[in-house]
Amino acid sequence: MSVTMVSLTIDGSPVQVPEKTTILEAALAHGMYVPHLCHHPDLKPAGICRVCMVEVEGQLLVSCRAAVAPGMQVKTSSPAVDKVRRAAVELLVADHDADCLACGKADSCKLLAVSRYVGIEPDRYETLRAHRLRKEVDETHPFIRRDYNKCVLCGICVRTCDEVQGVAAIDFAFRGYATRVAAIGDRPLQESVCESCGECVVRCPTGALLPIGFEKPAREVATVCPYCGTGCGLVLGTRGGKVVSARGERGHSTSQGRLCVKGRFGWDFVNHPDRLTTPLVRKDGELVESTWDEALELITERFARYRGRQAGVFGSPKTTNEEIYLASKFARVVMGTNNIAQVAHLCHANTVRGLIPVTGSGAMTVPVWQIKDAACHLVIGCNPTEAHPIVGLEIRQAVRRGTKLIIANPCEIDLCRLPHIRLPLRPGTDVALLMGMAKVILEEGLLDREFIAQRTTNFEAYAESLRGFTLEQAEAITGVSAELIRETARLYATTKPGLIFWSMGITQHSHGHDNVWALAHLALMTGNYGKPGAGIAPLRGHNNVQGATDLGITPPWYPGYQFCPGYELFPRLDKFKSSKEKFEKGWGYELPDFPGLSTVKQFHPKAKGWGPGEMWDLENQIKLWYIIGADLANAVADSKGVKRALQGAEFVVVQDIFLTDTAREADVVLPAACFAEKDGTFTATDRRVQLVRKAVEPPGQARPDWQIICEIGRRLGYRGFDFSSPAAVMDEIASLVPAYAGINHARLEQEELRWPVASPDHPGTPVLHMGEFIRVGKAEFWPLAYTPSPELPDADYPLVMTTGRNLHHFHHVITRRVAGLNDLCPEDYVELHAQDAAELGIGDGDQVTVSSRRASMVTRARVSERTMRGVVFKPIHFCEKPTNALTSAEHIDAVGTTPNTKVCPVRVEKVQSSA
């Protein structure tokens, strides 16, 4: 497509710009300043500040709304323009607080720039100011301060909220001089649909919108957001050794400057007084402050005592790739164990382990920036707006541009505000729904036969497994009408490229890998793999949980999905040869040869479902735990059992940034550095490996995890733990992990790389599986069958509890230590459907008891119509109301070992007041 260029002159200089460019854009693009206030490059032109006037053939034009024309002669300044423009600016300035010296925006204030340019006459300005009304400053929001005295009503915040965020929480209210920006009903922002993302604050041209308590940073450091796995570019501002600000990095291809409420405002935990600053050692039953020497001596002595099957090591997806690699190496080399686990075993292990035998990888197939290129989005078992807000934004933007949206969820998630088809399925019935869809695609011939023939195997076995299954069965199981399933299947199969998003709603089931297979099969049978915008998007929860699975803090594989011995036991994994020899060579030590236990199994050895029958009834065998950055006492299902196991262990070391509930059970607690205090890399959900940069020093004696791991390794006398820097660790990773072979810190300074990066000159792989499926060549179909969830509602526990995150919190540890996020969402709740609530006599805000077969707790009811009838939702963020005390660890997935936390039968009763 060729662009037609238009030639014109601006102030006599000839310029050429593409047609339809506005005069303002043309001038700015050629370095000519035209004063403006309501223009923003991200937004559609509004033309309401009337400041950007220019003269064209004697006529005054508002340049942000007037398109260029061939031969046009534009004057950016002329007596007529200057006069009207100056008077218009004077009117605005006269109604503006002139405390520029005290204003947080003074160095970037556009009104100041405009006034300086047009010139203000002080006398007239004083006259105009005479009748100015003082307006109250709105500081009701914990993060956003709105000063109406500095607002020029340019509407950039209003348009940002609508056009960039797709939220439209604010608009102009009232009229004439009384006009101001307000949320619905002129109520506080936090009572509206506002997501507190702060995008309005970023774009505000004056000091009208500022972060509360804004301090100007002395230095800025570009790094990566520490919350979800989207991998947004974050620029931290520091001052006096503290983090004081955060902003999005506009040039970042994933986030393009955008951040969610957690990313933009949730950095204050770094400075929190609760941070661990010295090692703690348990003495006489109490954890007391100690020294590194004392703590490390104790550790060295005990670690030597309990090795192999008696040791359990946890790595952390909040740490860097380098630290994760070292944790994996440490467990296998130093502790001689494959009992190396992490919290991914509670979430996407079903995706990662489940898809290796199907398509060779469980990772997202396309970059986040290609989400908008998909013609159809199937969003199932996830709520991106709250858990992966920037992905949620990309979906919103795509749908606004015409992408079709299918939402399968028992809860009415925020994306339901967009045009969509919604499949309100019963929790745990995804396989039946997806088999129904597959059946329609098969019967109606909507398959991509060529793709199936050329790039897959075993389709017949899969088709055979669908033979006896009918849409009527699907309807009976899921509660979604057969007609709706049919319509959705047709839409997905015929609208390409299609991209499937999923998250915990799919994986946190004891049949989670079946769900994952069913989804991958849908994409395979419609040829939705190996193309831009097509495939799967399993949204990873932690900033570096992708790296954590990539680099082997999991029993089945060493770094780089290279398998340990023993996994021939498991279906389909027999084709992957053990890499034990390679790593024994690489690391220089003999490595253990027994299959390790993953997270749930380490604490609940009698959990059923994984491995051969004899594995379903193990005895406690772990005597020592070394737990890096994981609050397992809250994160693992049936959390009471976790605490019992920790209390029964011989020796527990917890290495973290706060004294978590898990750390309280430890014998030694080591203070670690957080993401802002060290260098390294994170791998985002779309496989992008990014540099994390140190912005401030760790507090007190806290140290980066990589240094602590290496120090323990060295003290125990092992070679291979003497690295000068994280960059050196990455070089070792590159030497052993094929997908990271071409990655080093120097390249990451310059390039945007998504694995696999086969060599130092390989450009990375934005779209996975082009040409052939990685590792497996051809994808392989698997027969499917629907298995009901193991624990179902009955008369005693009639409701199904499903769990998850909300927008304002991440998990228990970090966001609960950000005051503003706690203000926005201060306490636990259980959300239930209005009709269920009415039948139970429960009103919004009532105190209720939630009971499962394992525990009972009092919390507050939130009554809405967001959940479907019979389903309640409880967030996981409040360890004082530990949701996982209610959930069960009795059954885990056969492949991913994930517990069944998304279908937990409960009873909800109103607390009768004793008065």
Partner 1 sequence: MHLYRAHVLVCAGTNCSLKGHRAVRDALTREIVGRGLGDEIKVVETGCFGLCEQGPTIVVYPEGVLYCRVKAEDVPDLVGIHLLKGRRVDRLMYREPTRPVAVQTVPELDYFRKQVRVVLDNCGVIDPDSLEEYIGHGGYTALARALEDGPARVLAEVKASGLRGRGGAGFPAGLKWEFGAKAPGPIKYVVCNADEGEPGTFKDRLILEGDPHRILEGMAICGFATGARQGYVYIRGEYGLSISRLEHSIRNARELGLLGENIFNSGFSFDVEVRFGAGAYVCGEETALFESLEGKRGEPRIKPPYPTEVGLFGRPTVINNVETLANIPAIVNRGAAWYRSIGTDTCPGTKVFTLTGDIVNEGLIEVPMGMTLREVIYDIGGGIPGGRRFKMAQTGGTSGGCLPESLLDVPMDYDKLAAAGSALGSGALLVMDDTHCIVDVARVFARFFLHESCGQCAPCREGTLQLHHILDRFTAGRGSREDLALLGRLAKTMAGASLCPLGQSVPLSIMTTLKHFEPEYLAHIDDRACPAGTCRPPAGGMKPAAAGNGRRGY
Q: What residue ranges bind partner 1 (CB under 8 A)?
A: 47-51, 53, 60, 62, 65, 80, 83-85, 87-88, 91-92, 94-95, 123-124, 127-128, 130-131, 152-153, 155, 171-172, 174-179
- CA–CA gap between residue 316 and residue 677 (Å, rounded): 16
Q: Which two tokens stand for residue 192?
A: 């509206």
- CA–CA gap between residue 839 and residue 859 (Å, rounded): 18
Q: Closest approach of Cβ 70 to partner 1, in Å?
A: 18
Q: Closest approach of Cβ 462 to partner 1, in Å?
A: 45
Return the DSSP state at 543: T
Q: Closest approach of Cβ 207 to partner 1, in Å?
A: 17
For residue 321, what are the CA distances in angstroms to 546, 550, 730? 9, 9, 8
> How many residues appear in the chain?
915
In the complex with partner 1, the residue whose CB is nearer, 3 or 87, is: 87
Q: Closest approach of Cβ 32 to partner 1, in Å?
A: 21
In the complex with partner 1, the residue whose CB is nearer, 1 or 178, is: 178
Q: How many CA atoms lie within 13 A of 12 on its CB side?
A: 2
Q: What are phi and psi of 414, to 5 degrees?
A: -60, -35
Q: How many CA atoms lie within 13 A of 268 on its CB side?
A: 19
Q: Are 349 and 554 within 8 A, CB to CB? A: yes
Q: Are 876 and 811 within 8 A, CB to CB? A: yes
In the complex with partner 1, the residue whose CB is nearer, 55 or 661, is: 55
Q: Closest approach of Cβ 39 to partner 1, in Å?
A: 13
- CA–CA gap between residue 147 and residue 206 (Å, rounded): 10
Q: Closest approach of Cβ 79 to partner 1, in Å?
A: 12
Per DSSP, helices labelled H in 268-319 are: 292-305
Q: Closest approach of Cβ 176 to partner 1, in Å?
A: 4
In the complex with partner 1, the residue whose CB is nearer, 50 or 348, is: 50
In the complex with partner 1, the residue whose CB is nearer, 155 or 381, is: 155
In the complex with partner 1, the residue whose CB is nearer, 127 or 835, is: 127
In the complex with partner 1, the residue whose CB is nearer, 69 or 288, is: 69
Q: Closest approach of Cβ 145 to partner 1, in Å?
A: 22
Nearest residue to 532 (alpha-carbon basis) of 766, 361, 689: 766
The amino acid sitting at 297 is E
In the complex with partner 1, the residue whose CB is nearer, 48 or 819, is: 48
In the complex with partner 1, the residue whose CB is nearer, 200 or 904, is: 200
Return the DSSP state at 222: E
β-pair partners for 363: none
In the complex with partner 1, the residue whose CB is nearer, 175 or 467, is: 175
Q: Closest approach of Cβ 402 to partner 1, in Å?
A: 15
For residue 299, what are the CA distances in angstroms to 304, 624, 626, 715, 867? 8, 10, 9, 9, 48
Q: Closest approach of Cβ 90 to partner 1, in Å?
A: 9
Q: Are 903 and 427 within 8 A, CB to CB? A: yes
* 615-631 residues labelled b (16+ CB within 10 A) or e (exposed): bbeeeeebbbbbbbbbb
Q: Closest approach of Cβ 69 to partner 1, in Å?
A: 13
In the complex with partner 1, the residue whose CB is nearer, 38 or 311, is: 38
Nearest residue to 768 (alpha-carbon basis) of 472, 464, 528, 555: 528
Query: Which residue pairs, CB below 8 angstroms and at least 24 apart, start in 27-34?
Result: 27/54, 27/63, 27/74, 27/76, 32/76, 33/76, 33/117, 34/63, 34/76
